Structure 1
Amino acid sequence: MTTAILPKVPVIRRGFRLQFEPVQNCHVLLYPEGMIKLNDSASEIFQQIDGSRSVGQIIVALRERFPDAPGIDEDILAFMEVASAQFWIELR
């Protein structure tokens, strides 16, 4: 995915909901047919998706929060590509 998505605003698709699942001890993405267990990185990214911040703003926020994480920009862009392809999010 290119940097062309930086100004786009990701939103969690209708019918999906992010929540912390104590039994799983992690965040999950719930949808009518099931649940997706998220790893720590995906969870951190999803928690930034609020429908008002752009991909670029999310990258900046996470870069500030995790300054020692190498390649975080590319990882977030790759995650957005996967999440969009899986129809978990929409990029507006």
Structure 2
Amino acid sequence: MTGNDVPFLPRGVRLHYDKVRGTNVLLGPERALILDDISNIILAQLDGERSVDAICKNLAETYAAPLDQIATDTLALLTDLANKRLLEARCD
């Protein structure tokens, strides 16, 4: 995954609020991942139209955080989810 990629949740994968656990989970085919607060924030940014770079820039501005740290953490999460086939990306 690169900064130019546009990440999105593929068919069959969705964010869901789990009432029992009191938190959001990422539901995929025959699996569910409990998300921490940072993962929730990053995944909430996915709209299928913005690139990773645009998402990182928005997060850095919103949270007054260093862009390089945001980019490193965001790319690590998105790459991990893509490797688990819970996220896809297209190049623009």
The letter of the residue matching 1:58 is I
Which stretches of structure 1, 4 residues or longer, exceed 6 Å deviation after superposition? none
2:45 equivalent to 1:51: no
Q: TM-score, normalised by structure 2?
A: 0.85
CA distance in 1, matches of 2:20, 2:79: 29
Structure-2 change in CA distance of 1:32 and 1:86 (3 Å): closer
Query: Aligned-pair distance for 1:22?
Result: 2.9
Aligned residues: 89
Q: 1:22 aligns with which of 6, 19, 23?
A: 19
3-state SS of paired residue (2:47): coil
Match of 2:6 in 1: 9
RMSD: 1.7
Q: 2: CA distance between counterparts of 1:9 and 1:68? A: 22
Deviations 1:12-55 (A, max 9, x none): 02101112223222111112313111111111111011111110
Overall identity of the aligned pairs, in %: 35
TM-score (normalised: structure 1):
0.85
Q: Gaps spanning 5+ residues in structure 1: where?
A: none
